Chain A
Amino acid sequence: MPGLAGRMSTTIKAKISKMLDRAEDPAETLDYGYRKQQEHLQGVKKGIADVVTAKKRIQMQSKKLEEQVVKLDTQARQALSQNREDLARMALERKTAIQAELQGLDTQVTQLEQQQEQLIENEKRLRAKIEAFRTKKEVIKAQYSAAEAQVMISEAASGVGEEMADLGLAMQRAEEKTEDMKARANAVGELEQAGVFEDITQLEGGSSDIDRELAQLSQGAQVDDELAKMKAELGSGSDSPALEEGQK
């Protein structure tokens, strides 16, 4: 596809200019620009709050899943000590699936944290620019003729406008990522409701769609390895505690 693409930098500049164009013309910006900018800052604050909420939800889920990993591991050991390799395998399959899910969650939390920090920095910068704009406007008005002042203030306004538009872009991206994360949180929630992360003791005997799904999800090799390792560990000691029916 030769000759189609422009430079990244020019494309983004165009994107940002377009956002600026959507705003009123610079002359008008002078009059009610300040109020407009303040509104924009409110939007940023809400955006940051959304990111924080989404992050907290994912962190809570991660914690639950981590506890489940420990529990399933213990159960696999207990099952093996009772020569119930089928149950142990099921527990390890679940554990593997949950670990994969956890990894995804970790990555997303990290990304969101970065995004949150960036938005906070952006907001600070925009606030400083708005403050500078306000001061500068008054100074320019006092020192120059009306015509000159208009040009200078327009230039300053575009500087602030670009900062605002860039923040708008950052907000858009943060919102998209937050949406992605909400979707993932919901997906995990659904798996949880479907009983995928339940104790195997509660599912014993019943091989459902979920089990088949899990078997596909989990990497068989990893489960085999872990089974072998556990067997080796348990090989010597046969006094391990019995797996009680219905134990959590």
Chain B
Amino acid sequence: MIVRISGEGQFRLPDNDAERLNDLDNEAVTAVEAGDEDKFQSLFDQMLSLVESDGEAVAEDELVESDVILPPRDVSFEEAAGEFTGEGLIPD
């Protein structure tokens, strides 16, 4: 599975991390909906840690599409609520 951290590039992760990552992602969105910033931050940190610990950076000359794209590391809670969750996606 290829995961991109927006702004930081791509990482190759074992496929069995997908479920864990999805769970964390779903929980993070729930935290955003509940307005729980601390919880969101903690879950998002866990997602980043997972990618960092299990992932291997994709080579510079490798041209692949990502399966999953995570928000930038410095994403603010407001951005997460407004732009980076399904709730906030405003069609152009």
Contacts and interface: CB of A to CB of B under 8 A. Distances in A.
Given A5-B29, A8-B25, A16 B72 contact: no
Contacts of B22: 7, 9
B70 A170 contact: no
Contacts, number: 105
Interface residues of B, number: 36
Interface residues of A, number: 40
B36 interface: no
Given A9-B21, A11-B84, A132-B60, A162 B4 contact: yes
B79 to A, nearest CB: 8
Nearest to A135: B61
B7 to A, nearest CB: 5
Given A16-B69, A114-B74, A11 B86 contact: yes
Given A136-B63, A155-B63, A162-B65, A8 B28 contact: yes
A195 interface: no
A166 interface: yes
B56 interface: no
A129 interface: yes
Given A4-B87, A8-B84, 18 more contacts: A1-B87, A2-B33, A7-B22, A7-B25, A7-B85, A7-B86, A8-B70, A9-B68, A11-B85, A11-B88, A12-B69, A155-B63, A155-B65, A159-B62, A166-B4, A166-B6, A170-B72, A173-B7
27 contacts: A4-B33, A5-B29, A5-B86, A6-B89, A7-B85, A8-B28, A8-B29, A8-B80, A9-B68, A9-B69, A11-B85, A12-B71, A13-B66, A16-B69, A111-B74, A118-B8, A122-B7, A128-B61, A132-B60, A133-B63, A136-B63, A156-B63, A157-B63, A162-B4, A162-B65, A169-B7, A173-B7
Interface of B: 4, 6-9, 21-22, 25-26, 28-30, 32-33, 60-66, 68-72, 74, 80, 83-89, 92
